[in-house]
Structure 1
Amino acid sequence: MNRKHIFSRRQTLYFCTTLLGFGLLAGGCDDDHPPSGQSKDAYAEVKTEVSRLIESGMAEGKVPGLSIALVDDQEVVWARGFGFADEVARRPATAETLYEIGSTSKVFTATALMQQVERGRVALDRPIQELIPDFTIQSRFPESGPITPRNLLTHHAGIPEQYVGGFTPKVLSLTERMKLLREDHQTYPVEQIWAYSNTGIVVAGRALEMASGMEFTAAMKQNLLSPLGMNQSSFRVEAHMEPNVAVGHGSLAARDAPPHWLDGEGPAGSMRSSVLDMSRFIKMLLANGQAGETTLVQPGTLQEMWRQQNVGVPLDLDTRVGITWFLEDLPLTNGQSARMVHHGGATLFFRSMLALLPEHKLGVMVLTNSSAAQKLAPFIAQEALARALKVKTGLEVAPRTQEPQVQPVTRPVEELRALEGLYATDLGAMKVAVENGDLVGNLDGLRLLLAPHQQGLFKTELQGAPLWLLFERIDGHDVVLLPQGPLPLLSSGRQFLGERITPSELPESWKSRLGQYSVPRGAPREFFESARLSQGEGLLVLDVSSAMLGETVTLLLKPEGEDRAIVLGLGRGKGEVVRFEQQGEARFLITKGIRLQQNPPEKGIGSEE
């Protein structure tokens, strides 16, 4: 295989992760005094500067269309489209163009569920089964507490990701999604680690149905979207919306896209909206839950949603989350900081970013119709907010350094040897060893020289780009980290790359199952259509492939008993269970909710190449 292609696909999955998105908050600054003579006209310079950034970014990334709305308290000071909503028809993008907003949908689902908390119909810290009596999931952790709505809304419930229903005859209901979870397993005990899960928010959406007594889409419209006047927004495309929907662009041809996948993810990411509609939501948030004369959520509820929920969780590293919102402190040049809350989104063909500075009553929404805008959308959102903050308050956001400001150092060989071992990483199995006094990582046959630097950092190169690594022991786990997240806004601070693991002899039963698996004949297509199970150094290696995406995801597995294996590593997608079943002569692997049948054996399968 072409190694460069392998890494690019794995990094796509790791850095952006499979479709549907992220967000952040920060510690506030009270010094919000506008300079004398400041007026709204001052935003003209912001519009000019940000327009220039948008146009250059779109040209560089070949992004067809983008829309942006900038809100100052209760006024939309800028709402504009760039490029095309439909490039072929030459239909321009406008402030009313509708886009898929992906995981930004999650903050709407959470807000609607918090409304039910206010009405006494949902208890955030009670077992979810009290709301969804037929909800069950297998657990490997007898010490784990019950899953609660708060756990679901903060991605601390250990709910595995499922990629099901994309090609079923109709969109799967949330009730049907719950049934599909019954045979699946928790990935972690509750509150042990932040592991982002779209499926967890799907469960929260089912809780909203039960609490409101309404189907999810109808509940969202009645309780949140309609009161806000967001009449062009919905979790399903309605007939009156169709003329304004943007045409999405990505590596996948539209004709090959799973027709029902996004709507089946509903609460986690199926909302469509425009920046003009989204500005109504932003204004409500900046008004402490008030929309005109109507209180949609109480101020205390918003503060709880924007309060850090994962204090004292070592494995969360530097990730700070509220109730679905991501939290960050933007450093200012005066030594203080500005509190920011945000969430982004990604679908097959669209990218989005919503960000607010609550104390300064500023908010921005960026929507694009291209998967190529994964860096552009958060970058534009941050630049627009930073410039607006300076205009409104005189406060300047401090620039971030792109590279660690550290120098090379010499580390004793004994210290380097303490880092040796096999690491399960997002790029595959990496064997770390000392060779002639140097620390070296072997990654899928690629030799990486890990040069020690100050502050415990190691520098190497991958595909011609610098890669910084940090080895630490956290909460009993030996891990290798990225000291800084790969995307602006999305993941500031340390992020997991991998965990050191102990290989062991593979059971003969699992060795006999090595080979190629695919969707059973006659069954509907699936998001992932085939998988190859092989063995590495005391590990099972499962390469799960999606022909329609042209991607292969590599999972490193450790057998746990005769019929299941655990995905090694820490964080999103890790700790998941891959199950084995046999029915007569037919053998099956079940991964990510998808059932794959073993093909007739091929000569040499399972041998190390």
Structure 2
Amino acid sequence: MKTHPLVPRRCLLMLLLACTVTSACDDDPPARTPDYAELKKHVERELLLSMKQDEVRGVSLALVEGDEVVWSQGFGLADAEAGLPATAQTVYGLGSVAKVFTASAVMRLVEEKRATLDQPIEEVIPGFSMEARFPSAPITLRTLLMHHAGIPEQVGGAYSPRAHTLEERVASLRGVHRVWPVGSIHAYSNTGFVIAGRAVETASGSDFDTFLRQHVFAPLRMEHSAFRVTPDIGPRLAKGYGAMPLELMPPHWLRSEGPAGGMYSSAEDLGRFVRMLLNEGEQVLRPESLQELWREQNAGHPLDVGTRSGITWYLHDLPLEGGGTVRMVEHDGSDFQFNAIIALIPEHRLGVVVLSNTSSAGSLVNSLARDVLARALKVKTGKAVAAVSGLPTVQPEAPSPEVLGQWEGLYATDVGPMVIQAQGDTLKGLAGDTVLDLVPHQRGFFRAMLGDSPLWLSFQKSGSEALLLGHSARQGVGLLGTRIDPAPMPESWRARLGPYAVAPGAARELLDQAVLSEVGGLLVLTYTGPLYGGAPVTVVLDPMTGDLAAVAGRGRHRGDVVRFEQTSEGAWLHLKGVRLARVPTASAGHDL
């Protein structure tokens, strides 16, 4: 499911009549109704070209202005083999867009005083328990919904022979370690939203699906939206197209993880949801609840570089030509086959929904949503969103050896462990077999080439932390990694080195193989599985006690606890809620 989010990936004007008596308005000029005809022609032309180029099967969208859906349409095919066209009524998986519905359900309960955003989660979910290796403030609904609760991103159970209830999923977290103290860092967590969904159940006395149906879907007449495939949804559901073979798809995972990413809906239904959001939450939420959802919750947080978070929603200031900005709030989502996004400009009562049934369409979906919103804003207000590359405009510059030397060290990054070394008047980044020449530029930027593509990096100090930042045209700045100083591998772990795998006869898992090794005197773990597209993930472990080690570094995918277990049945490794059995073989160490 992500990226996180956004990581950011990628309207007819309501005539508000000041009076109702014609004679009282004789001197007022008539209100201008925006004409979106040219916008539609341009978007359709460009979208069809992009879909063909990127081999995207189907796309559906809805554009909302005020309390009217001014455009809803499908493009391409909902089912390529059957020749079934995509329409505004075609149903898609929403991935993490489901999270905004979970947040809406929580806010409804807060309004009804059946829960508060800041009470300890144990008061909302009796018996809730997770392991912790550090002191921490209490987990709350607020911190869960803004990914600040320090919950692992994902835990095991994906290939269960049946869908688990939220009660069962939360109960399975007992014995699982939290990854960070509450409030430490924005670390995206699907599991955190499973916990929030369970809180909706315990606070309301209703199961999660029923609560959403009664309090959100029914009032808005979202008749083809649900957290499972119902008889009404089935005939409208698009066929999904993804890289993962169908036989490897976890059959019940999204159902078990519903509040995090298991919702289905159409552009038509989501247009009704957006219309509610643009009209002060009518029928579902109070205006003050929307204000809190879209209020920046992590302002000034030193480690949340490039991420501005409301409660679940992500916040952006779009620059305007001639100066000034306009606020956009959004959340996107993806799963093994589908991509989706909802994006709004609340102050101008504009919103857009874009959905696709092709797993590789994430960039197209996000770019399309931003483009449609920007063009709609221009049509409605005359204000044009400025084209900004997001990349630095700087020239090469040779800093002193002392400046370069302060960034040397081992970093835990999104691409695995990376050694940063000063060599002459440049830095070198060594990540596995990849060598990056980091050429210093003005204002502390470094430029490297990854194949034919430029890669812009910078470094930043945050207290005792050294941060490695990435800069991209689409996503702006983001945290790529942090410098780490893990303890050397203890002798107690040497006998545990080697491969581990899901035990014969056990259910499949999204993480199904791992290898513990010694690299340059450090304890290193490499794991693979269907969730990672077959590509190995390598992390450095920081040993804590005799049987525990934590993934070194800060941020998403880091902080997970690895636990070794020796039983009469053999040796086991526990990671992300998955139990892997030792596979007897020889092991060897090597250098980074």
**TM interval, short-chain normalised:** over 0.9
TM-superposed deviation, 1:219: 1.2
Cα distance in 2, alignment partners of residues 301 and 446 from structure 1 = 48
2:53 counterpart of 1:60: yes
Choose the corresponding residue for 1:532, options 492, 515, 525: 515
**Percent same amino acid among aligned pairs?**
47
Amino acid of the residue matched to residue 399 of structure 2?
R
Amino acid of the residue matched to residue 457 of structure 1?
F
TM-superposed deviation, 1:40: 4.6
The count of corresponding residues between Structure 1 and Structure 2 is 572
2:496 counterpart of 1:504: no
Cα distance in 2, alignment partners of residues 520 and 247 from structure 1 = 33
TM-superposed deviation, 1:263: 0.9
Q: Which residue of 2 aligns with 1:251?
A: 243
Cα distance in 1, alignment partners of residues 30 and 471 from structure 2 = 42
1:19 and 1:174, CA in 2 relative to 1: closer, same or farther beyond 3 A? farther
Cα distance in 2, alignment partners of residues 276 and 45 from structure 1 = 22
3-state SS of 2:113 partner? coil
1:443 and 1:551, CA in 2 relative to 1: closer, same or farther beyond 3 A? closer
Cα distance in 2, alignment partners of residues 430 and 226 from structure 1 = 51
Q: How does 1:137-152 map to 2 (within 5 A)?
A: 137-142=130-135, 144-152=136-144
Q: How does 1:272-291 map to 2 (within 5 A)?
A: 272-290=264-282
What is the Cα-based RMSD across aligned positions, in Å? 1.8
TM-superposed deviation, 1:379: 0.2
Cα distance in 2, alignment partners of residues 604 and 160 from structure 1 = 29
3-state SS of 1:70 partner? strand
Confirm or deny: 8 A CA contact 2:417 2:431 kept in the other structure.
yes
Cα distance in 1, alignment partners of residues 71 and 377 from structure 2 = 14
Runs of 4+ in 1 over 6 A off after TM superposition: none
Q: How does 1:566-581 map to 2 (within 5 A)?
A: 566-581=550-565
Confirm or deny: 8 A CA contact 2:132 2:177 kept in the other structure.
yes
Q: Which residue of 2 aligns with 1:307?
A: 295
Cα distance in 1, alignment partners of residues 451 and 577 from structure 2 = 33
TM-superposed deviation, 1:52: 1.9
Confirm or deny: 8 A CA contact 1:20 1:346 kept in the other structure.
no
TM-superposed deviation, 1:604: 3.8
Amino acid of the residue matched to residue 305 of structure 2?
L
TM-score normalised over the length of structure 2: 0.93
Q: Which residue of 2 aligns with 1:546?
A: 529
3-state SS of 2:343 partner? strand
3-state SS of 1:551 partner? coil
Choose the corresponding residue for 2:543, options 546, 554, 559: 559
Cα deviation, 1:495-519, whole Å, max 9, x if unaligned, reads: 1111112243210111211111110
Q: How does 1:165-314 map to 2 (within 5 A)?
A: 165-290=157-282, 295-314=283-302
Q: Which residue of 2 aligns with 1:519?
A: 502
Q: Which residue of 1 aligns with 2:26?
A: none
TM-superposed deviation, 1:434: 2.0
Choose the corresponding residue for 1:161, options 153, 170, 179: 153
Confirm or deny: 8 A CA contact 1:503 1:538 kept in the other structure.
no
Cα distance in 2, alignment partners of residues 352 and 512 from structure 1 = 46
Q: How does 1:9-88 map to 2 (within 5 A)?
A: 18=2, 21-22=5-6, 39-40=32-33, 42-88=35-81
Q: Which residue of 1 aligns with 2:319?
A: 331
2:129 counterpart of 1:136: yes
Unaligned runs of 5+ in 2: 9-15, 17-28
TM-superposed deviation, 1:331: 0.7
Cα distance in 2, alignment partners of residues 152 and 266 from structure 1 = 15
Cα distance in 1, alignment partners of residues 498 and 100 from structure 2 = 42
2:376 counterpart of 1:388: yes
Confirm or deny: 8 A CA contact 1:80 1:94 kept in the other structure.
yes
Choose the corresponding residue for 1:103, options 96, 100, 104: 96
Q: Which residue of 1 aligns with 2:450?
A: 462
2:567 counterpart of 1:583: yes
3-state SS of 2:448 partner? strand
Confirm or deny: 8 A CA contact 2:130 2:178 kept in the other structure.
yes
Confirm or deny: 8 A CA contact 2:527 2:538 kept in the other structure.
yes
Cα deviation, 1:5-59, whole Å, max 9, x if unaligned, reads: xxxxxxxxxxxx64774477xxxxxxx9xxx888556201111111122112211
Confirm or deny: 8 A CA contact 1:22 1:104 kept in the other structure.
no
Unaligned runs of 5+ in 1: 1-16, 25-31
| Structure showing greater relative contact order (alpha-carbon pairs closer than 8 Å, 6 or more residues apart) | 1
Confirm or deny: 8 A CA contact 1:533 1:606 kept in the other structure.
no
Amino acid of the residue matched to residue 98 of structure 2?
S
Cα deviation, 1:147-186, whole Å, max 9, x if unaligned, reads: 1111111111001122422221210111111122111112
3-state SS of 1:314 partner? coil
1:567 and 1:526, CA in 2 relative to 1: closer, same or farther beyond 3 A? same
Cα deviation, 1:103-138, whole Å, max 9, x if unaligned, reads: 111010110111000001001111010010111111
TM-score normalised over the length of structure 1: 0.91
Confirm or deny: 8 A CA contact 2:339 2:357 kept in the other structure.
yes
Amino acid of the residue matched to residue 135 of structure 1?
F
Q: Which residue of 2 aligns with 1:10?
A: none
Q: Which residue of 2 aligns with 1:7?
A: none
Q: Which is further off, 257-266 or 579-588?
A: 579-588
Cα distance in 1, alignment partners of residues 544 and 462 from structure 2 = 24
Cα distance in 2, alignment partners of residues 58 and 68 from structure 1 = 14
3-state SS of 2:378 partner? helix
Q: Which is further off, 180-189 or 265-274?
A: 180-189
Confirm or deny: 8 A CA contact 1:450 1:460 kept in the other structure.
yes
Cα deviation, 1:399-455, whole Å, max 9, x if unaligned, reads: 011532111011111211222111121112211222244321222133221100011
